Structure 1
Amino acid sequence: MATEQQAGRVVMVHGAYADGSSWADVIPLLHQAGVAVMSVQNPLTSLADDAAATRRALDLQDGPTVLVAHSWAGTVISEAGDHPNVTGLVYVAARAPDAGEDYAALAGRYPKAPASAGLTFTDGFGRLNEATFLAHFANGVPEERARVLYAAQGPIAETLFASRTTAAAWRTRPCWYAVSKQDHTIAPDLERFLADRMGATTIEVDAGHLSMITHPRVIADLVLEAIRATAERPTA
């Protein structure tokens, strides 16, 4: 098996209504390829807090690193992906705002995602209700697994999605994007627009929003492709 230095490093960033274990099906496949992996635990309290958590993980890497994001975390890696250790960005059914962009206005040009209807807030923090989580956020995931994910979902600060980035790392790093064709959380056509705008190497997965759970081999292979393609790229 290849050593970690030979095979590369990956930092994985989870989205809203989730935690770092959302990558649990992909991580063993990367380990089998000799890749060193760290999964960030985002507080989901603000973009600044999530970006800081991601930067702390990147600071711990001792060489070139591919940064991977799902969903909301695409905003986080767009903000934090200019870290000098980062050689490439992988977006999995993820947001990818431009610097200072009103992402909600951009998303409003596309059909409204059904998952958003199930978001409710209490004392400044929001969660998806169970029916919406199972039917739309975790569509395609076996029901028992989806119920476990629902129980472990990370609540989000009420102001989280209003955050605007100060940077767009996808403008300065090579990018890969996995579009989820059956996504009920982000409109697939919006994902396609984002991937095209960043000039990403793009694949389409016949999956719901959680493709890294339902199609972990596909996502792992995309990450490995990004590692290989950026292996000789110098860090910033």
Structure 2
Amino acid sequence: MALSRGQFVAYALASGVALDIGDVVVPPPPASAYAAPAPPALLAGQALTSSTVRLLWTAVAGADSYRVYRDDQLIADQPGTLLEDNGLAATTTYRYEVTAVVGGLESARSAPVVVVTQQPDPASPPSAPTNLKASSITSSSVKLSWTKSTSVAKVTGYRILRGPSGARSRTWSRSRRPTAAPPTPRASSSPTAPTSSRSAPSTSPGTSDRPPPSSSRPAPRATRAPPRRCRAAA
């Protein structure tokens, strides 16, 4: 197949051959002009939800764009260094790689990163913990232990309710430490200290606890008149 003059020159230059055309010598371009760029040095991935993965990588100097591969399939060609991959399956492992594109040349792929998506959001609340036990009970503390929930969803924590015995759990709440009840007075067992069920009368200022004087006076005692002495006649 015969090549035209222009095709021959382009082929020779691409092959690194120097051409002598008349008085003009056309040198081949430097090898660095055709060298592929370096791939991104660092690629990180994080599962945000059960269907979304976030990727972040370091920039490459002079890069025009970046190509993102998921399980060897090209999923994005963009200028930025951040990508959120959506529409994924829950609890599934994915492998990602990124390349840099400079002047139409694509770099080798970066070191891969493996990301596992999260579990699906629970459609129902998690199961209740079981085998609740109390130990190391003192006057001011108690140690609790229980068997963790068997829910398929990720359990992020446990809530502990405290309330009086026999009360409904809806009325329970976190309260302050109860104060000690005052001591109950004991009845005296001494025979010389009799007890009375009657309470002492209360007195107010300006009053006396003596009974009020009677309005009637006692009748005076009757006095006997002295006997008269009679003198006998002579």
State the TM-score bracket (shorter-chain normalisation): under 0.3
Structure 1 or 2, whichever has the larger Rg, is 2
More strand by share: 2
More helix by share: 1
**Length-normalised TM-score, structure 2:** 0.20
**Length-normalised TM-score, structure 1:** 0.19
